[in-house]
Structure 1
Amino acid sequence: ANALDVRAFGLANGKSISLTDRSVPRDLRETVLHSVCARFSTVLGPGSDWYHEDHIHLDLAERRSNYRICQWNVYDPLPQVAPLLPAERPEGAPPREVAQKADASRPDAPKADHGKADEPDAAKSDDAAAPESAAETKPQQTKKRRQSRRF
């Protein structure tokens, strides 16, 4: 067999180094890339095809004219994620203003119609009756149509 698939290296101290892991220092991964591309005729890794996204394929098979393939993209580390919670407020910061919530169960809660006189309500009922009679004769359109699009 001339080929080998490598996912990680196990070290003597018990740690392992994954060659496709973005958290491994980029310099180390690039050093391994240059080393294996000089030694093997075929090196396939992330970026070559979907099959080699999680490991490195190394092959010694010789090709015509000593043709070599070295397709392994060494990706940058992923950006740090923003913290889920905001930073704590400084001690010297002024207190935040908190809006009061209206409680519907309280009987003394103000309603919007209490401050109005009876006359505007009567005017509203007259105005409300007029559109109803107009609605009986001609149905209201729900959507305004462009005149240029009609046939």
Structure 2
Amino acid sequence: MIKLENNSHESRTTKQTREQAKSMLNQDLDLKPTIKLSKQGQALFELLLTLVSDSDVPFAQIDSLQISLLAESLDQLQQALDSIHGNGVVVDGKRNMATTVYNSALKNVNDLLRDLNLTMNLRVKQLLSNIQNENVDDPFRELINDD
């Protein structure tokens, strides 16, 4: 893992790698889906881009595939839920196949959220790390101080 900020002495190669990583991560977030998405999937993709652009976690062009897959998985999850709510868990004495799609999509969504550092736990860990490294102001400082 490459630390993007470092004040200590480092080799020229490490410094170049750091600068290269920074430039890759600071690209414009004009991402397009890398897979064909339904209308709902496209809307989810746009919503995810809004969430990602507001995040403190850096994203780059290469993340477009994972964001596209997340939008697709969220779309599948919603379609499966619609089927389950409309038809029930059991249809004609058999398990509704939408439950299988739902379970698979839910696992994919959880994996992709974790991979993109978008879970609540990972975002809090990143925030705490940034605070400890003094990259951002502590948002809880005012609440804790008894001034």
TM-score, normalised by the number of residues in structure 2: 0.18
- Of Structure 1 and Structure 2, the greater strand share is in 1
Specify which structure has the higher proportion of helix.
2
Larger Rg: 1
